[in-house]
Structure 1
Amino acid sequence: MEGKDEDVRVGANRYRERQPIGTAAQAEEDGKDYKEPPSAPFLFEPGELSSWSFYRACIAEFVATFLFLYITVLTVMGVAKSSSKCNTVGVQGIAWSFGGMIFALVYCTAGISGGHINPAVTFGMFLARKLSLTRAVFYIIFQCLGAICGALVVKGFQPHQYERLGGAANSVSRSYSIGGGLGAEIVGTFVLVYTVFSATDAKRNARDSHVPILAPLPIGFAVFLVHLATIPVTGTGINPARSLGAALVYNKDQAWDDHWIFWVGPFIGAALAALYHQIVIRAIPFKSK
């Protein structure tokens, strides 16, 4: 135990907070033990549109969202198709399908595009200056296109089943109010985006380097838990591309009635998570005149 206490003492001294909280925080001391990625240009980064790595990242987001919709829509349809819950994976299986796919796809694409696979995550990262507006817009477009194509492929394979089973389109449950559905989307997306920030934080990774945590794991697990909680409320959106792809391909009134909730809720939740992480958790200083 003595050796363990010594490790804790050394770690606490090595990674002590070097700046005060809030508006008093102006700058960090030199010689910190981690590298903070530079902030991205707010609007446009010269050279992005002429770089192959930029388009490769967009393609990675497209393919990842395509695969995400393909697997998860089929899972939801499989549960809806059965008359007995004992013959399917059930709600827990749907939650595992969404969470497991996010885990796998973030792991595959994190080194290429950051593994967003979700316009809400992209929006949160944009607010935190992790990527430029140009990249954020392109990511969101390719994510939505990938989601639409994923749902289209499922419908192409099983057109009659797709129409009969609802196409995994999101809608607010009749037993819940519009406000309840919006709140569920806001809080659910907050949990997801806050987890993304925490799992990819440079300072956190340096301080906890002795704990081997794979970033996609907590992100996928967050998606799983949010689905367990909110599937009965809205079918769980927390991803505008996923909601748009299913709604557009299914294209029935019930899929469009409350569709705005699955954009407004996730974007509000992502913005709150970005503000909370950047200002409260990381105590990013405000620039004074």
Structure 2
Amino acid sequence: MKKIKIAGVPEHFNLPWQLCIENGEFESKNIDLQWTDVPEGTGKMSQMLRNGETDIAIILSEGIIKDILAGNDCSIVQVYVESPLIWGIHVDAKSNFKTLSDLQNKKAAISRLGSGSHLMSFVNAQNQGWKTDNLQFEIVNTIDGAVEALATGKADYFMWERFMTKPLVDKGVFRKIADCPTPWPCFVIAVRNEFLEKNAKEVDEILKIINNTSIEFKEIPSIDRTLASRYHLQIEDIQQWLSLTDWSQKKLNKKTFDKIQNQLFDLNIIDKKSTFETIVK
């Protein structure tokens, strides 16, 4: 049995992986796929790929492209979720911030540098016509850290996936004042190059298994109830999320790659570019 380490956020997007593991689909192909939940998100998973703590990561497109350009020896082997990630822009429910314009020159809570919450703060600032040089950040690691930072005034706003954060909005902890969708597919599958070179056959098998599940995921009986129960979300929120979410079974195309890389470059998040063929395998 080939032991392979994989990491992803403990969120509803990754239920297809959990179902395949629970159903023994990887084991049936002699693969011991060991999943690690990473609530800190993309910045942490990039570090894990660099350190060899994981072989594969289900990771945000913009975050891993940035980190590969910064020296992370990985490749993107496939798009996992084709639809955008809808980032909710949240403030403490008791704060005086009412509109997005109130947050100009205010401090963003981010999980870590290079994370989606960090990079999307730049995208949001560009969308609003704010100077990105003026952005300020407070590193909070997790959603719990963001709750504390906003409550104590260490940070003013927090961007996180809208549906996963909604229970905090429903409880009156956060107030959502706007949405900021990614201008590209949100999740890709990244693999360490050293691992990929030695285990290409196993990686192909893993992709076949997850794609067979993701392509039919929405048709699984009562999948909305399963998701709501596992991730402690309201069924109507899950149903809305399912209607907005599309999984992918295809490779990242050059047009989309160029769009992400060019926007990161325009925002001064990266200071050099690479070729499509270098990063996408």
Question: TM-score normalised to the size of structure 1?
Answer: 0.28
Relative to total residues, which structure has the larger helix share, 1 or 2? 1
Relative to total residues, which structure has the larger strand share, 1 or 2? 2
Question: TM-score normalised to the size of structure 2?
Answer: 0.28
